[in-house]
Every structure is written in structure tokens, then in C-alpha cells.
Amino acid sequence: MKNGRPNIGVSELISSLLTILITLALGAVVLISINNYSYSISTLFKSDIESRQVGLMKSLDLVIASASKSTNEVRLVISNGVVRLNILAIYVNDVLVEGLSLTLEPLDIKVVEFKSPIKLLEGSIFRVKVVFDGGEEVIYGYTYA
């Protein structure tokens, strides 16, 4: 009993230990949450970088495109780089060519023929977009008679 008040409570040593433990626990929670947050952001960035790296390994070149007005067929010459790639879609003037998917072997040069999804007029210029598993390429072609 000191100054009329009961002398109750934890000792100074225990209170100090409790303060240290609480500070450590709070600090650990903050540090772990910061770490988790930065890890998730960096994983997201890394997966994006990895997919772009894979995309950069693949190279596709559209050499020439032409079309025939009478048959409405498009002929496209494509060449591939050193990695095998898949052509996922081809568009003529932004209209999808249905049912066309092919695989190109390394250093392949191929003539691809397909029916145009739109009517091509003689002397007109059309745009062919090829989407592959490493990006996309665009070429302009000319329609002959």
C-alpha cells in the first residue's frame, strides 16, 4: 500500500517484456504484410515479363499478300523465325477468317491460301492481320482480277 492506493499490477520487468513482445509481434505483422504485398506485385510483373520474353523469342514475318477478285481468295506468304509457333487467327480488314489455325516449324516459309471473309474488289487494298502466340503482324495486300 503506497499513498493510500493498493500496490497492484505487473512488475517493471514483465511490463517491459510485454512491451517488447507486443512491439515485435506488431512489427512482424507489418513486415509480413509488406513482404506479401510486394511479393504479389513482383510476381505479377515477373509473369508479365516472362510472357513478353517468350513473345520476343518468336518472330513472324509477313512477306507478301495478294488476292484474286474472281475466286475471292487471299494468298499470304509468311516466314517463321527460330522457334515453332502457332497462328491463332487471321483477319482480313478486321474480319476473322473462320476455321484457320496452323503451326509453323522453325525457319518455315509458307504460302497460306484462304477464302476472304469479305468481298474484295479489283484494285482494292486490304489489310491482313495475323495473330500468333508471340504477338501480331500486319500486312497490306492488293486485289487482282
Partner 1 sequence: MATRMRNGLSSIVGLVLLLLALIVISSTIYSILHTVNENAYMNLRVLDRKALRNSVKYLVECVYKYIDNTAIITLVNNLPEPFQIVGYVIVYNNITFETVRLAKLEVVPPLTNLSLSLNLAEEPRAIFIVILIRDEVTHLIVRKSTQP
Q: What is the binding site for partner 1 (CB under 8 A)?
A: 12-13, 16, 19-20, 23-24, 27, 31, 34-35, 38, 41-42, 45-46, 48-49, 52-53, 56-57, 59-61, 63-64, 66, 68, 75, 77, 79-83, 107, 109-111, 144
The Cα 14–Cα 59 span in angstroms is 68
Q: Which is nearer to partner 1, 39 or 96 (CB)?
A: 39
Q: Which is nearer to partner 1, 31 or 121 (CB)?
A: 31
Q: Which is nearer to partner 1, 38 or 101 (CB)?
A: 38
Q: Residue for cell digits 484494285?
A: 123
Q: Which is nearer to partner 1, 42 or 98 (CB)?
A: 42
Minimum distance from CB of 82 to partner 1 (Å)?
A: 5
Would you give the distance in Å from CA 47 to the centre of its chain? 9
* Host H or E run for residue 114: strand 109-115
**Angle 7-10-11 (CA atoms, 0-180°, nearest 5)?**
90
The Cα 74–Cα 130 span in angstroms is 13
